[in-house]
Structure 1
Amino acid sequence: MTEFIPPGTRWLDLPSPFAMKRGGSLHGARLAYETWGQLDPARGNAILILPGLSPDAHAAANTGNPEPGWWEAMLGPGKPIDTDRWFVVCVNSLGSCKGSTGPASIDPASGAPYRLDFPELSIEDGADAAFHLVRALGIERLACVIGNSMGGMSALAYLLRHPGSARAHLNISGAAHALPFSIAIRSLQREAIRLDPQWNNGDYDDAHYPESGMRMARKLGVITYRSALEWDGRFGRVRLDQSRQEHDRRDDEDPFGLEFEVESYLEGHARRFVRRFDPNCYLYLSRSMDWFDLAEYCDAPCGDRGGDVLQALAKIRVDKALAIGVSTDILFPLQQQEQVADGLRAGGADASFLPLDSPQGHDAFLVDFARFGPAVRGFLDAL
Structure 2
Amino acid sequence: MGPATNYYVHRHTFGLYRGGRLSSLQLGWESWGTLNAERSNAVLLFTGLSPGAHAASSERDPDPGWWEDMIGPGKPIDTDRYFVLCVNSLGSCKGSTGPASINPETGRPWRLRFPELTIDDVARAARLVVDHLGIDHLAAVVGPSMGGLTALAWIKHFPNSTDRLALISTACSATPFAIAIRSLQREAIVTDRNFREGHYTEDDWPEVGMRIARKLGMISYRSASEWQDRFGRRHQDYFPATQFGMRFEVESYLESHARKFVGSFDPCCYLYLSRAMDLFDACDTDHGLRALFKRSFTGKALVLGVESDLLFPLWQQQDLAAALEAEEADVAFQALPSAKGHDAFLVDFDQFGPPIATWLE
Question: Which one of the candidate residues 198, 210, 214 is aligned to 1:214?
Answer: 210
1:361 correspondence with 2:341: yes
Q: Using the TM superposition, give the Cα deviation of residue 15 of structure 1 relative to its aligned residue in structure 2, in angstroms.
A: 5.4
- Indicate the SS of the match to 2:289: helix
Report the more deviating stretch, 160-169 or 345-354.
345-354
1:43 correspondence with 2:39: yes
Give distance in 2, aligned partners of 1:225 and 1:15: 38
Question: Which one of the candidate residues 242, 263, 270 is aligned to 1:282?
Answer: 270
1:24 correspondence with 2:15: no
Q: Which residue of 2 aligns with 1:302?
A: none
Q: Which residue of 2 aligns with 1:67?
A: 63
Which amino acid in structure 1 is aligned with residue 69 of structure 2?
Answer: A
Q: Which residue of 2 aligns with 1:303?
A: none
- Indicate the SS of the match to 2:74: coil
- Indicate the SS of the match to 1:248: coil
Q: Using the TM superposition, give the Cα deviation of residue 167 of structure 1 relative to its aligned residue in structure 2, in angstroms.
A: 0.7
Give distance in 1, aligned partners of 2:196 and 2:111: 11
Give distance in 1, aligned partners of 2:171 and 2:15: 25
1:372 correspondence with 2:348: no
Q: Which residue of 2 aligns with 1:168?
A: 164
Identity of aligned residues (%): 54
TM-score by length of 1: 0.92
- Indicate the SS of the match to 2:301: strand
Confirm or deny: 8 A CA contact 2:56 2:64 kept in the other structure: yes
Give distance in 2, aligned partners of 1:125 and 1:318: 23
Question: Which one of the candidate residues 278, 286, 300 is aligned to 1:298?
Answer: 286
Confirm or deny: 8 A CA contact 1:319 1:348 kept in the other structure: no
Question: Which one of the candidate residues 316, 320, 324 is aligned to 2:304?
Answer: 324
Cα separation, partners in 2 of 1:374 and 1:329, compared to 1, 3 Å: same
Confirm or deny: 8 A CA contact 2:158 2:296 kept in the other structure: no
1:248 correspondence with 2:239: yes
Which amino acid in structure 2 is aligned with residue 338 of structure 1?
Answer: Q
1:117 correspondence with 2:88: no
Runs of 4+ in 1 over 4 A off after TM superposition: none
Q: Using the TM superposition, give the Cα deviation of residue 290 of structure 1 relative to its aligned residue in structure 2, in angstroms.
A: 0.2
Which amino acid in structure 2 is aligned with residue 147 of structure 1?
Answer: G
Give distance in 2, aligned partners of 1:237 and 1:318: 50
Give distance in 2, aligned partners of 1:64 and 1:91: 17
TM-score by length of 2: 0.97
Give distance in 2, aligned partners of 1:15 and 1:31: 11
Which amino acid in structure 2 is aligned with residue 81 of structure 1?
Answer: I
Q: Which residue of 2 aligns with 1:262?
A: 250
Give distance in 1, aligned partners of 2:128 and 2:235: 51
- Structure 2 spans left out of the alignment, 5+ residues: none
Confirm or deny: 8 A CA contact 1:96 1:285 kept in the other structure: yes
Give distance in 1, aligned partners of 2:49 and 2:231: 26
1:101-123: per-residue Cα shift (whole Å, max 9, x none)?
Answer: 00000111111100111000000
- Indicate the SS of the match to 2:18: coil
Q: Using the TM superposition, give the Cα deviation of residue 6 of structure 1 relative to its aligned residue in structure 2, in angstroms.
A: 2.4
Q: Which residue of 2 aligns with 1:346?
A: 326
Give distance in 1, aligned partners of 2:294 and 2:146: 20
Give distance in 1, aligned partners of 2:39 and 2:291: 32
1:285-326: per-residue Cα shift (whole Å, max 9, x none)?
Answer: 000000000134224xxxxxxxx3333343321310011001
1:101 correspondence with 2:101: no
- Indicate the SS of the match to 1:182: helix
Give distance in 1, aligned partners of 2:70 and 2:251: 30
Q: Using the TM superposition, give the Cα deviation of residue 42 of structure 1 relative to its aligned residue in structure 2, in angstroms.
A: 1.3
Q: Using the TM superposition, give the Cα deviation of residue 48 of structure 1 relative to its aligned residue in structure 2, in angstroms.
A: 0.4
CA RMSD of aligned residues (A): 1.2
Report the more deviating stretch, 9-18 or 78-87.
9-18
Give distance in 2, aligned partners of 1:27 and 1:64: 31
Give distance in 1, aligned partners of 2:99 and 2:129: 20
